[in-house]
Amino acid sequence: MNTIDIENVIGINDVEGAIAHLYKHIPPSNAIQNALAFSQQAHHNQFRKSGEAYIVHPVLVASIVANITGDEAMVIAALLHDVVEDTHIGIDEIARDYGDDVAHLVEGLTKIDTIRDAQLIPSNSDEKLVVSALSFRKMLVASIEDVRVLVVKLCDRLHNMLTLGALAPAKQHRIAEETLVVYAPIASRLGISYLKNLLEDLSFQYLFTEEKQ
């Protein structure tokens, strides 16, 4: 696995720049171009808290995946990873258009979100997040047998951490804590030490803000 050119990812917030960055790391095959067009259509008129077009997120996640693995099925899954959850598109449609392997990966990514919703305490709870996050991590590792799904999810979390500044401080703290307890240890378990270090460093920036002042 390659290391990530993270500095270049940080500066991209437009669709054209995100697509150019993706194709810097993987050739624009017909399947990838079709998945990109499909994702753009599915996320049309959707925007992130930062105000940028939502499609920038899955494209940059796909670029990070391409940078690390160069695996086309994983890249396509990254492009489509929010389509099932956020739109009317179903797994059967993805299987029909992109094959069973991509559908399997997207289904695994959707399963992670389902497990997260079931295991993590609500954001409005006064309980500590750590206990439920540990339970979530344990369930995640036990339930997701395909390592590729976890790698795509780690790339998704990395880009979310890189854009965390657009959220309210309480939300930043919660997501950073979850990242530190759940995702950094999974990266370590998978032997992707530089990704573990990135996730830890980004989490610390939001969890220990007083030490930066």
First CA to last CA distance, the chain: 36
Annotated catalytic residue 86: yes
Contacts of 3 (CB under 8 A, 6+ apart): 194
Contacts of 84 (CB under 8 A, 6+ apart): 90, 91, 94, 106, 107, 110
CA diameter of the chain:
53
Report which secondary-structure segment, H or E, holds 78: helix 72-80
**Alpha carbon distance 2, 134 (integer Å):** 29
Contact 32, 71 (CB under 8 A): no
| Cα 86–Cα 82–Cα 60 angle in degrees, nearest 5 | 135
- Which one is catalytic: 14, 86, 117, 201? 86
Say whether 53 sits in a helix, a strand or coil.
strand
Contact 156, 59 (CB under 8 A): no
- Which one is catalytic: 14, 85, 100, 117? 85
Catalytic residues, by residue number, are 85-86
